[in-house]
Structure 1
């Protein structure tokens, strides 16, 4: 079995289970067909940070769900996860496939959010441009008024020029 072709999540889960130091926190059941997390709190604080960027336990559960694992919660401190292809001998591990609809939903949501953020950014830029144009228009209007006032003064001066020469 070539494990390098497996999804990273499954490789990390396998590593957790294979590490003898973790056996009191996470292990196989006696039949070797369920993963048992014996101490959820300790799993959250000491195991998750070693293997994943996110130490959020619900994210870990969602990943398990995405790969077809069923949760058999036994108590608030312990739970079991089952997937028909996930066994202690890893013989059928290659048959575990991530649910496609979740991936499509994530991609769809991600694309939507990216588009929305781009739209918001463009809207902010347009608003800034409109504000700049408004300021420029106001300055131009003031200049036109000043030029018009100056023009009237010069016209008056030209009209009164012959009187001043006498």
Structure 2
């Protein structure tokens, strides 16, 4: 895992303006050694995190300075990743195992160059997220 981590992450960060979090995330999803706990979906447009307890204890500390799953998910949200919710016949599908799926339009298998388009959400001084678009004003 460490040899793949260094070579892939190094090429990502050195070649572009990809934040460290995204480089590490790409490395985690790409590394076949981590596939039992984090891997691409079959379509390659999202990734799965299996067994969050094991993932946070065994994988997160090797790549990040923590083993906190909530912090990892908060980072994903800050970069615009969204949890994929599967619907079938009007109800939620319950996965057979602990499986959480995330997606971002610029996080796609084989499209490493798209990572530089993923930007962290901006916050204002009060800590509220700021949209990059002006608010729509409605006339009453």
TM-score normalised by length of structure 2: 0.67
Cα RMSD of the aligned pairs, angstroms, is 2.2
Higher relative contact order, chain-length normalized (CA < 8 Å, sep 6+): 2
After superposition, the C-alpha distances for 1:67-90 in whole angstroms (9 at most, x for unaligned) are 000012665721000101100112
Q: Distance in 2 between matches of 1:100 and 1:84?
A: 18
In structure 2, the gaps of 5 or more residues are: 1-10, 86-93, 129-140
Cα distance change, pair 104–64 in 1 and its aligned pair in 2 (3 A): farther
Which residue of structure 2 lines up, in the alignment, with residue 53 of structure 1? 65
Q: Which of 26, 31, 36 is the equivalent residue of 1:14?
A: 26
User: What CA distance in whole angstroms lies between the structure 1 residues aligned with 2:70 and 2:125?
Assistant: 17
Structure with the largest fraction of strand: 2
The 3 A distance-change label for structure 1 pair 44 and 70 is same
Unmatched tracts of structure 1, length 5 or more: 107-166
2:100 to 79, 95, 107: 79
Aligned length: 105
> Looking at CA atoms only, which structure, 1 or 2, has the larger radius of gyration?
1
Residue 9 of structure 1 and its aligned partner are, at CA, apart by 0.3
The range that moved more, 29-38 or 73-82, is: 73-82
- Aligned residue for 1:86, secondary structure, equals coil
